[in-house]
Amino acid sequence: MLAAAGAAFAPPSTFGASARTRIGLIPATYNRLQRPSSLDDPLDYERVRDMVWTAIRLGAPRAGSLEKKIRPGSWVVIKPNIVGLRGRESYRTGDITDFRVMRAVFEYVARFSKAGRITLAEGGSYRRLTDPAKDNIVYQDGVRRDAMTFDWGTEEFPGLGGSFGDMLGEFRKQFSGRAFDYVDLSYDGVRDGGKLRRVEVPKAANGVGAFGARPDYYVTNTILNCDFLITVPVMKCHMQSGITCCLKNYVGTAPREAYAVAGGFSNTRLHSEHSVDNRIDPFIVDLASFHPPDYAVVDGLRGLQYQEHNCGVEDQLVRSNLVMAGEDPVAIDSLAAHLLGFNPWDIEYLHMAAKREMGTRDLSLVDVNGGDPGALRRRWAKPKSWYGRGNRLWRVTDQPSAPVESWKPWESATDTLPFDRWSGKPVMPGSRFGAATRIRSQGYRKAFLWIGASGRFAAHLNGRLVMSEEVRTRYRHGQFQQAVELRPGLNELVVRVEALEAAPKLSAYLAGPRNDGDTVDGIEWLG
């Protein structure tokens, strides 16, 4: 399968007949629901619950069912995305996991499994009631609130109102033999003798460790110690990682008590300490590595395009009225990217998660049961700064006049090829370098070549000069863009760079004909 060929899907299998990973994809229109509805229907709780439970059954894990995978007496943690509360400037409907989806997951686990303790766990940008700090406090009708006490009324989530605390209280009465509780992950950091302690990212079975700039993190007791973890994210766009879904939901597991800076209550230091090349993807996967999801249920009822929080644009809210469920978070996030109109190959954190063997990015190896992904796909408006995954496989030289065949293979760790790091020595003004890569294309492809560079450069595609620029401003990804056409089979991109005032850098992308940052379908970078 070509690396950037877009999503491919196997025919739906008969439930229970395949050992392949399964995803239940249930739109409100699914004809096996008790009350099928339109994709524009506001839905009530009973219909949402039917969608969630049907998705869980059609997205059954290899154990046979979700309830069979949860061992008797287990501590089950359900982690939604409740990053903000209504009334704050950054909040907008579609920003957090729908209360109806979350409640349906709780009810399923309580009713059908033999879990001993069921916990709602989340950490958001609001302080708990007992925190003495004066910033990031939420008031409702003059009363201080937090995630458990905020009353959502009945308009935000049609057919369901009250607070999350009310929900837990109802379940305690209805299922008297179970323990139901809430953990605010913002205040749940692992400690030694009262002092917050960092924990090293565990190595995967194949030896892959941390991806972040710093390999040790502040993490929470609940994520480390629970027996079974169900991630319940909302599916939406994200300014930095492209999408937010199962794995991006783990950013809420980082304790804000450790990562917030004075006067704020967001994970500021998480970003500054662990990002790589200004990308958050490495720490998304690192945080998930402490306890990868045992199961996932995705809220695709409503989400936000353009960016992950309120941006004040009238059409930011998108209603899709669908739910996904399954045990492979990488496959589910790949499918989410497809449904949102992204090329799944461009989601950087999915490459890292696949390297840790958290799941498969190749949707041709996945059975999608229920709805038709092709029919449900929509092109959501992407962040203005969005760009996909650049080339990492180069042949590099400091003798650019030599034949390209003699240049040395080199794999860049990020989208950027830094020539001083490659050479291992200081680079003086006037130094010259060459970098080349090959692109295999399934056929003729109209695309846009994006080059980011510092210094003076000339780019040739299949022997033809397509771009020549001199750059003395700061280095930026995709700063220069040129329409090109790829021919079937192998194509060769050769870029020769001369250092001017600093060591040169280079990045290369091939965006599709919409020029919206997504990699063109049907190509593979070969180096």
pTM for the structure as a whole = 0.93
> Mean pLDDT across the chain, nearest whole number?
94
**What is the rounded CA–CA span in Å between residue 345 and residue 331?**
12
pLDDT band at 215 (very low <50, low <70, confident <90, very high): very high
Token digits of residue 87? 């009334």
Q: Tell me the longest C-alpha to C-alpha distance in the chain.
A: 78
Give the start-end residues of each E strand in 8-116. Answer: 22-27, 75-80
CA dihedral over 229, 372, 239, 343, signed as positive or negative: positive
Interval 2-51: pLDDT, tens: 333 233 344 333 333 447 899 999 999 999 999 999 999 999 999 999 99
Q: Which residues, including other chains, have CB under 8 Å from residue 58's CB and lie 6 or more apart?
A: 15, 22, 24, 25, 26, 325, 369, 370
- Residue 109 near residue 118 (C-beta atoms within 8 A): yes
- What domains can be seen in the chain, in order of their start residue? 22-376 (no CATH), 393-525 (2.60.120.380)
Interval 274-292: pLDDT, tens: 999 889 999 999 999 999 9
Strands 445-453 and 480-486: antiparallel
Interval 349-402: pLDDT, tens: 999 999 999 999 999 999 999 999 999 999 999 998 899 999 999 999 999 999
Q: Which residues, including other chains, have CB under 8 Å from residue 369's CB and lie 6 or more apart?
A: 12, 13, 15, 22, 23, 24, 25, 58, 59
Interval 134-159: pLDDT, tens: 999 999 999 999 999 999 998 899 98
**pLDDT greater at residue 165 or residue 88:** 165
Question: What mean pLDDT comes out for the span 183-200?
Answer: 96
Helix, strand, or coil (residue 297): strand
Question: What mean pLDDT comes out for the span 65-72?
Answer: 97
- What would you report as the CA-atom Rg of the chain, rounded to the nearest whole angstrom? 24
Name which of 128, 94, 112 is nearest 233 in CA terms: 94
Give the start-end residues of each E strand in 257-364. Answer: 295-304, 317-326
Would you state the pLDDT for residue 501?
Answer: 87
Question: What mean pLDDT comes out for the span 212-217?
Answer: 98
Interval 444-485: pLDDT, tens: 999 999 999 999 999 999 999 999 999 988 999 999 999 999
Question: What mean pLDDT comes out for the span 320-334?
Answer: 98
